[in-house]
Structure 1
Amino acid sequence: MAVLPIRITGEPVLHSPAAPVERVDDALRALVADMFETMAAAPGVGLAAPQVGVDARVFVYDWTDEDDVHWRGVAINPELLISPLALDELDEDAEAEGCLSVPGERFPLRRADRALLRATDLDGEAYEIDAHGWLARIFQHEFDHLEGVLYVDRLAHPYGKAALKAVKRNSWGGPGQSWLPGRDHLED
């Protein structure tokens, strides 16, 4: 297993839909193992293959909820159904989100409170998870990566403008930029 470099916004693989996974094989299992190691080193609660430069519809997640239930898995060729978005005012703290491909930045983003994930695991078995709260947010965030969308692309004003300024301030937005968890120090 290895910690992989995480691509930063501007890398083309992050901004286009990922290719379907054709087969579950040893190469995919090795990639998933590396993704789990990379996610833990970052640290993060989810990581999509495009974030490590791989054009494949796969993401991993690892999170413990408020009831101390541990959610850890891999989603291959996922489908995601979400509930309607709440219409109340955005909570800047409770709905703040970050991304390993926009390192050190956090902005509030409205997400659906419920998401139904349908995917395949590393054994080639189909599964389904009805997620609520933060787990639903994780699934939506990682699924977006597979669609070529970063969370900063979804931000409403004034947060979208602040995100663009952060990208410019950090000289991101072009290809070839990455950081290596465990070696590169990034501000949270």
Structure 2
Amino acid sequence: MKPLQGSGGQGVFLVNEKNEANLNSMIEANLRDGYIIVQEYLPEAAQGDIRLFMINGEIFEPDGKLAAMHRFNDTGDARNNVSAGGKIKKAKLTDEIRELASWVRPKLVQDGVFICGLDIAGKKLMETNIFSPGGLTDINNMMEYNFAAPLCEAIERKVEYRRVYGPGRLSNKLLNTL
């Protein structure tokens, strides 16, 4: 269970038989900030998850450098978020993960999502982080590559398209395919 708003693993609770007596308190704590999400716990998440960045509905992989990280927590905490004590290492993208990203692509494009972070455990998509897809700085440091430069170039291309075509002529959905 976790709040719909927020980031960094704040307010995330693993609900099980051991702590079900505190369920009402967990719900009340999260409802203070609005809606909550209750989702199935994926046992694969105990081995960590992959935060995979997508730009324009495509895996962000400039110059062959993958903007992704394998997040894990070896302290017993169920959260793999770096800000909650998780650690990172280079991610290995399997064919299954690449296929999963390709299945998410049409919805990202349809909704005009320029940048997002997919959280994947095992072969399943856990969530799509659109409003706060953190971790790119951590990936920069780990990969010793400046992902900000190609990201800014992609943004500048969109600004230039808007300038050339004029205000309101290109929707975010269309821009997301360019």
The two structures have a TM-score, normalised by structure 2, of: 0.28
The structure whose RCO (Cα within 8 Å, separation 6+) is larger is: 1
CA radius of gyration, larger in = 2
Higher share in strand: 1
Higher share in helix: 2
